[in-house]
Structure 1
Amino acid sequence: MSVEEAAQLRRHLHAAETRDDLLGRAIKRDIRALELYLQLPPEVPGHGEAGGYEHNRHKQNYIHLHLAGKLWLITQEPRYRDYVIDMLQRYADVYPQLRLNTSKDTNPPGRLFHQTLNENMWLLYASDAYSCVHACLNTEQRLHIENNLFREMVQLFTETYAHDFDIVHNHGLWAVAAVGICGYAINDQGIVDKALYGLKGDSVSGGFLAQLEQLFSPDGYYMEGPYYHRFALRPLLLFAEAIERRQPQVRIYDVKQQIIKRTSLALMSTAFPDGTLPALNDSSKTMGISDEGLIIATSLCYQRYGADPMLVAMAQHQQQVWVGAAGLQLARAARDQAPMPLNWGSFVLNDGAEGERGGLGILRHQDKTDDLHMALLWFGQHGSDHKLHAALDHGHFDGLHLSWFNRSQEVLNDYGFGRWVNIEPKFGGRYIPENKSYCKQTIAHNTVVVDEQSQNRGDTATAEQRWGELHFCVTDHPAGQGISARAQGYYEGVDMQRSVLMLQLEGLSAPVLLDLYRLTSTAEHQYDYALHYQGQIIHTDFDISASPQLSALGAAHGYQHLWELGRGHISGETQSAQVSWLMGHSYYSISTALPAGGDVIFCRIGANDPQFNLRSEPALVIRSRGRDQLFATVLETHGHFDESMEISENARGDIERVEVIGHNQAASVVRLKRRSGQNLVVMLSNSSDVEGPHSVEFNGQLYRWNGAFATRPETEA
């Protein structure tokens, strides 16, 4: 932060008309946090477990060093300056003598933390704090801090761990950003150049420019998913801003056709309507747009790439801005613009360095009550590169996974990671063993499992060689929207295609979601269509046999962690099943066609979990056997429940059942039977020529339509 910028913020903080806007509140929040921390005696602890006292104290030290540095410039409070100088000297006193910490996983250890990633973070924030007080130090203080702390840390990262410094990964991004910002802080361009261009200086084998060129797809998507994307975004933006201020000739914000803008907006646009990020791959269920990286991104994109109303909407939902000149501009805009929903529209984000490895499709619809519905279909590459580092395998085996969100809640949810972050008594705050045995496995996701085996045999090296393929994405059809993708080779001899349509039906305020999951094989298999939900079962249209004694649903690939609570067998003429549940104030129903018959199995997570590491959550497994199978399922949102007012409305949905008319390589045709009698036939193309005219005959009936899909009303006599 420059002196001029700090003066601007100081005037903003004291002006009556702006002191309580988003920026004014952010500065005052930082002051309160710092003042509270300064009440503690200063301490430089030794080594500790991940999430333990020592770990957290080192982390809080760098957070508050950073706060104190910028607040010294803004407020000119001498105690903040003195705190930074004192703490940096304390660390410089001890750092050269510290032995390496003990690593309990495959991450290389630092001298302060159990892994160098945290040490990179410490260096980045401490270097920034140092730059704020640098002018106030005498020569002896500068040399002591620079030589015994910062240069020692840089040497650890660029020499001792040179093999990790240049990896193109979020860990590598933190490393180069920390070293680069440190180089600027101590005025050593040689250090900056290592960070910017890599240890070989070629901008290809490593360094910040290589990260920008190789880490993200052309659409800006990051292979590890939104949780790790938001983590990578923070050092990316902080270093980019430092480069722009110190070396504007690099034109960092224009690199790779403005990849910084595209990757920032790509991440923002994946968020659910409540701001939570989808839990793709290893992910927290609570991480959202209020993360620091996204706060910085919203402000910097607004400043560096121009005014965008959606960025203003982001700031309004975040209820804060980055403390800096960029936040100043955005705070003014947020004060003047009427609130907007977080509706980024419907689209596909391609995955892979060249956009060639599948992707992520999102459908959004804002209904007449202004509720925003969002469906997400995942068909990208496995979310890791195990060749870089064994500990960096954050991918899940969940091709063609589906998420569904409306009425401010995740209706079909992804479990996310198995980890109790920084809770030291729970496996040291690291990933729990069940992260591999359950959370990564296919049955833990809303997709189909074949023969109780995870996709790609649950093997990372195999999964990294495969990814899905987009079949179509339609966002402007009169009947609604749709997205379809294929996954081939995930199971030997089995091809999969999933098509998700968000349809507006006459007489319904909320759209229904039609899920057509088609599997084809020359051999017979067991197909398990899994759905993970939250709430209380309200109704089924079939009988359930409760399990007299709890047992695991299977022996491996995540099945060993599912208690089987009961099941219902589906047979007869309709061969359809319906299950309704209550979640919050809303009712939800699924209606599923099972042409080959089968079972609906009610499960709960928690079997073979002696340390109670997993969350106890329900799931449905719809099981069928055969060669070719079309799981045709309608998910309907309906009704309202208010226990305090003893009101229950429309507890039974409009969809009565789903019927599969037929499916083959050319097309799938299904019928939605409605209680109103205004039935709907849905026709969908499975052929590669999705745009042309289509015709298919099933049971002597000819069906014709144009485009990827179409609907046709059908009134019962």
Structure 2
Amino acid sequence: MSYQPLLMSFEEAAQLRTHLNTDSLMGRSIATEVAALEAYLPIGIEIPGHGEAGGYEHNRHKQNYIHLDLAGRLYLITQDPRYLDYAKTMLVEYAKVYTSFELNTSRDSNPPGRIFHQTLNENMWMLYASCAYSCIRHELTQDEQQLIENDLFRPMIDLFVDTYAHDFDIVHNHGLWAVAGVGICGYAINDQASVDKALYGLAGDSVSGGFIAQLTQLFSPDGYYMEGPYYHRFSLRPIYLFAEAIERRQPEIGIYDLKDQVIKTTTYAVMSTAFPNGVLPALNDSSKTMDIKDEGVLIATSVCFKRYSQDENLMSMAVHQDKVWVHGSGAALSDGVANAGELAGFNWGSLQLTDGAEGDRGGISILRHRDVKNDDTMALLWFGQHGSDHKLHSALDHGHFDALHLSLFNHGQEVTHDYGFGRWVNVEPKFGGRYIPENKSYCKQTVAHNTVVVDQTSQNQGDTATAEARWGESHFFVKGEKQQAMSAFVRGYYPGVDQQRTVVMFEIEGIAKPVVLDLFRLTSEQEHTYDYVVHHSGQIIRTDFDYQMASKLKPLGDKSGYQHLWNVASGNVEQGSLVSWLMGNSYYSMVSSANQGSEVIFARTGANDPDFNLRSEPLMMLRQKGSTHMFANVYETHGYFNEAIEASTDARGQVDKVEVLTHTDAGSAVKLTLNSGKEVNVFVSNKVGVTDETETSLTVNDHNVNFKGAVHIA
């Protein structure tokens, strides 16, 4: 039999059949998919027409292609004739009506399809339906094949390649789905001309469009994707599904080796940004619930293990995912996990990823520390380019005004966090499941992030075109077992104000978890109001300063996101401040320096939100007026709380005070004082281009201090 299914040969299907009813990772993965399909079959086949964006019709079409794909693949593995009949009937019924559907009504900037409100969803439908078709094509009559190919798949290809040619060739994550859908469909119906358009673009040059152009232009040299991990993981599905089809049908292309194995590089980039609990950082428009169990990351984990490297991190990820891709590569990963013995949690270590196609537009730095109990602490500093891509549509802006954003993770949870996007996905009463208006008025604004807001105005005036012309720059990145650090600059995001953020993670004897020292330095010749913003969760436990509760709730401001924040309480803190809060089973403290006129403000989201679109979440900000100023803050994890057994230990941390000794263009010096009286001095070089050999001299309390390298702790 010459024809083979696209992603799974008949021989591979037979091998996967041996995992049926076993307790292997693959066996459980197959059982999960069988259960999902069996639950959907009794609903029967329905081909709905048009409906509300995100409504019943949309979801039914989506569930149809998901289960159509399951039926095709599981038929090959189980040989259950019911699955064959279901997949065949579904494809035939769609073929009978597809060309009779008028183009839908677009609800956003993406043009409409015949089934969905946007072609992106229709590209996804075609990709999965084509995969299903390739699994059962050999079982269909000639008439059935011609009906499905001529009345369903070819009109779909025409819609994407001809009608929407301007979108088909765009180098963007939407373009990835378009070329992958057309390419896989072309392979499934033996239409090599369409495959070539998908591979090389409509001009056939592999530059102006097509899959090759996508892979060679979308990612930085380190594999980072400008729109952030949420959209990055979304791109992995079409990349891997199409790459697998290409490797099987046209191995001479060498798709997995393209551009120094760019597919592997970009996959490891998104995997390595994940928090230790598997959740992906919410940079730009991002879901707070998206994690490495996402289907794209799941597929990538299996294929990377098979095609590239039997990496222990991939096996640890598979254990966390508790599933592998039901595919030959998934079987290899399942066997690897079975033979690996006990695996610790995945740990990509401390790393830095550049942003921009040439790697010259800032980036992201991540510090990780794993203790003897395999508990992970992580700090993430963001300083890349604005995360929007106007190549597709001028209205499509996923970028946030969040330069020098900091996220902290410890004890299995985000300690300080990003809000993520403002959207209720597929909840049609909530603005049709689209981005809510507050996504622009709050979530994108600088105050919604853990960074500094100048004069209560968002970075780059909250203007996308202005933001796209700027990006941050790495100052230094230092890895180490007991101490490590990262630092970055952004310049011109506020007129006349330069910003530098330095984060040092280090161990202090007698403190169970590493402390995180955050130095945020702002330089200007003019006086400004600086708001250092901290988004946290949990319950405030104590402060070491007096504050006044607001007698009447009022918004903190009238623009740039401040209009959505209730002013809950505030207090003056001229001698520094301490705030402790309880989250889960852990206590956290933030000890801060202060100058004359410093203020701590406690706030909560929800103001000017008549439709209750925003989550009600707390935040605090340190407010300081001045020209050149440095915020020095120490984050400490301490103690344990368990209400069920009425246990509470070490509710007070050990860091008592942090003082700024000096900060100049040459360097900064701060002193931490512990409750025991012990002092820890931290010196940081602010010199541009600092290396391990750079010598810095500072005057501290009338004494000269000399140190070498980026950071010195004494």
Please give the TM-score of this superposition, normalised by the length of structure 1. 0.97
Amino acid corresponding to residue 399 of structure 2 in structure 1: G
Matches within 5 A, 1:110-509: 110-337=113-340, 338-476=342-480, 479-509=482-512
CA contact (8 A) 2:385 2:468 kept: yes
Q: In the aligned structure 1, how far is the partner of 2:644 from the partner of 2:309?
A: 47
Q: In the aligned structure 1, how far is the partner of 2:71 from the partner of 2:622?
A: 56
Q: Report deviation, 1:341.
A: 1.3
Specify the alignment match of 1:522 in structure 2: 525
Q: Report deviation, 1:203.
A: 0.3
Q: In the aligned structure 2, how far is the partner of 1:144 from the partner of 1:410?
A: 52
CA contact (8 A) 1:386 1:461 kept: no
Q: Report deviation, 1:705.
A: 1.1
Q: Report deviation, 1:49.
A: 2.1
CA contact (8 A) 2:314 2:346 kept: no
Q: In the aligned structure 1, how far is the partner of 2:86 from the partner of 2:396?
A: 36
CA contact (8 A) 1:595 1:660 kept: no
CA contact (8 A) 2:171 2:391 kept: no
Detail structure 1 runs of 4+ shifted over 4 Å in the superposition: none
Task: Give per-residue Cα distances to partners, 1:639-680, cap 9 Å, x unaligned.
Answer: 111112222111110001110101010000000011011110
Look up the SS of the partner of 1:83 in the other structure: helix
Task: Give per-residue Cα distances to partners, 1:173-224, cap 9 Å, x unaligned.
Answer: 0000000000000001000000000011000000000000001111111111
Amino acid corresponding to residue 581 of structure 1 in structure 2: W
Q: In the aligned structure 2, how far is the partner of 1:475 from the partner of 1:350?
A: 16
Q: Report deviation, 1:699.
A: 3.1
Specify the alignment match of 2:14 in structure 1: 7
**1:656 maps onto 2:660 in alignment:** no
Q: In the aligned structure 1, how far is the partner of 2:25 from the partner of 2:52?
A: 37
Q: In the aligned structure 2, how far is the partner of 1:207 from the partner of 1:301?
A: 23
Look up the SS of the partner of 2:43 in the other structure: coil
Q: In the aligned structure 2, how far is the partner of 1:554 from the partner of 1:368?
A: 46
Amino acid corresponding to residue 280 of structure 1 in structure 2: L
Amino acid corresponding to residue 140 of structure 1 in structure 2: D
Look up the SS of the partner of 1:233 in the other structure: helix
CA contact (8 A) 1:596 1:626 kept: no
Task: Give per-residue Cα distances to partners, 1:272-328, cap 9 Å, x unaligned.
Answer: 001011100000001000000011000000100121111111111111100011011
Q: In the aligned structure 1, how far is the partner of 2:630 from the partner of 2:335?
A: 53
Q: Report deviation, 1:390.
A: 2.9
Q: Report deviation, 1:12.
A: 2.7
Specify the alignment match of 1:711 in structure 2: 713
Q: In the aligned structure 2, how far is the partner of 1:321 from the partner of 1:689?
A: 44
**1:565 maps onto 2:568 in alignment:** yes
User: Which has the larger displacement, 50-59 or 203-212?
Assistant: 50-59
Q: In the aligned structure 1, how far is the partner of 2:203 from the partner of 2:95?
A: 29
**1:697 maps onto 2:703 in alignment:** no
Matches within 5 A, 1:666-677: 666-677=666-677
Specify the alignment match of 2:577 in structure 1: 577
Specify the alignment match of 1:644 in structure 2: 644
Please give the TM-score of this superposition, normalised by the length of structure 2. 0.98
Specify the alignment match of 2:5 in structure 1: none
**1:618 maps onto 2:618 in alignment:** yes
Q: In the aligned structure 2, how far is the partner of 1:537 from the partner of 1:138?
A: 68
Q: In the aligned structure 1, how far is the partner of 2:611 from the partner of 2:512?
A: 45
CA contact (8 A) 1:168 1:214 kept: yes
Look up the SS of the partner of 2:644 in the other structure: coil
CA contact (8 A) 2:447 2:561 kept: yes
Specify the alignment match of 2:3 in structure 1: none
Q: In the aligned structure 2, how far is the partner of 1:390 from the partner of 1:128?
A: 33
CA contact (8 A) 1:368 1:509 kept: no
Q: Report deviation, 1:388.
A: 2.7
CA contact (8 A) 1:364 1:375 kept: yes
Q: In the aligned structure 1, how far is the partner of 2:223 from the partner of 2:180?
A: 19
Task: Give per-residue Cα distances to partners, 1:358-417, cap 9 Å, x unaligned.
Answer: 001000001233210000000001111224313431000000000000101100010000
CA contact (8 A) 1:386 1:460 kept: no
Q: In the aligned structure 2, how far is the partner of 1:442 from the partner of 1:280?
A: 12
User: Which has the larger displacement, 527-536 or 689-698?
Assistant: 689-698
Q: In the aligned structure 2, how far is the partner of 1:479 from the partner of 1:143?
A: 66
Across the aligned residues of Structure 1 and Structure 2, the Cα RMSD in angstroms comes to 0.9
Amino acid corresponding to residue 531 of structure 1 in structure 2: V
Task: Give per-residue Cα distances to partners, 1:466-489, cap 9 Å, x unaligned.
Answer: 11100000002x750100000001
Specify the alignment match of 1:715 in structure 2: none
Q: Report deviation, 1:229.
A: 0.5
Specify the alignment match of 1:592 in structure 2: 592
Q: In the aligned structure 2, how far is the partner of 1:625 from the partner of 1:600?
A: 12
| Sequence identity percentage | 63
Q: In the aligned structure 2, how far is the partner of 1:391 from the partner of 1:31?
A: 41
Q: Structure 1's 291 and 676: CA in aligned 2 closer, same or farther, altered over 3 A?
A: same
Q: In the aligned structure 2, how far is the partner of 1:379 from the partner of 1:535?
A: 27
CA contact (8 A) 1:107 1:391 kept: no
Task: Give per-residue Cα distances to partners, 1:441-494, cap 9 Å, x unaligned.
Answer: 000000000001100110111111111100000002x75010000000111100
CA contact (8 A) 1:130 1:185 kept: yes
**1:28 maps onto 2:31 in alignment:** yes
Q: In the aligned structure 2, how far is the partner of 1:394 from the partner of 1:661?
A: 40
Q: Report deviation, 1:689.
A: 4.3
Task: Give per-residue Cα distances to partners, 1:473-523, cap 9 Å, x unaligned.
Answer: 0002x7501000000011110000000000101111100000000000010
Q: Count residues with an aligned counterpart.
A: 704
Q: Report deviation, 1:158.
A: 0.6
CA contact (8 A) 2:225 2:355 kept: yes
Q: Report deviation, 1:101.
A: 0.7
Q: In the aligned structure 1, how far is the partner of 2:535 from the partner of 2:309?
A: 41
Q: In the aligned structure 1, how far is the partner of 2:355 from the partner of 2:516?
A: 25
Q: Report deviation, 1:336.
A: 1.7
CA contact (8 A) 2:344 2:374 kept: no
Q: Structure 1's 391 and 58: CA in aligned 2 closer, same or farther, altered over 3 A?
A: farther
Look up the SS of the partner of 1:321 in the other structure: coil
CA contact (8 A) 2:605 2:614 kept: yes
CA contact (8 A) 1:660 1:671 kept: yes
